[in-house]
Structures are given as C-alpha cells and as structure tokens.
Amino acid sequence: MPTSNNDHDSLSRRDKGFIRMRSIMDYGMGLMWTGMGIFLVFIKLFNSGLESRFDDPAMKTFGGICILYGAFRIYRGYKKNYWRER
C-alpha cells in the first residue's frame, strides 16, 4: 500500500473514497470531541443547569483530555495518512 502523498495518484478509486470517508469522519468526530471538551471545561459560561453535577476538577481534566483528543482527530483527518506499511 502507498505510504505518502506522492503515491496518492496510484491509489484506486475505492481507496480514494475510503480516505475521503475516513477524513470526513475524523473531522466530524474531532469537532464533537472538542465541543464536548469545551463544554465541560467552560460549563459555567453555558448556564445549562448542569454546573452542580459537572463542575469539579476531574470533569475539567476530562474536558481537557477531550479537547486534546479532538484536536488529534482533526489533525489526523487533515494529514490523511491512513495507509502504512507494516
């Protein structure tokens, strides 16, 4: 399988569709994880009525982890490096 963007031209139509689908999924999931993390970290700003249940240091830490994971998913969707030689 190809390992770099230079080999992108040699991919089949099916492989290009797979890469496009994975990239869109990574962007979408990255936005969802990042949004959830922002909500958990800044829950007091949203006035959702959930502040009493979710406003503790553990949830803020989890929110920070969600933001980092969301950023990673967005980066992975941008790079589109799904094929690796093993």
Contacts of 20 (CB under 8 A, 6+ apart): none
| Lookup: tokens for 12 | 């089949």
pLDDT above 50 (res 78): yes
| Helix orientation angle between 13-41 and 57-79, rounded to the nearest 10 degrees | 160
Predicted pLDDT of residue 84: 60
| Lookup: tokens for 40 | 């958990």
Q: Give residue-wise pLDDT tens across range 30-48.
A: 999 999 999 999 988 888 8
**Which pTM does this prediction carry?**
0.76
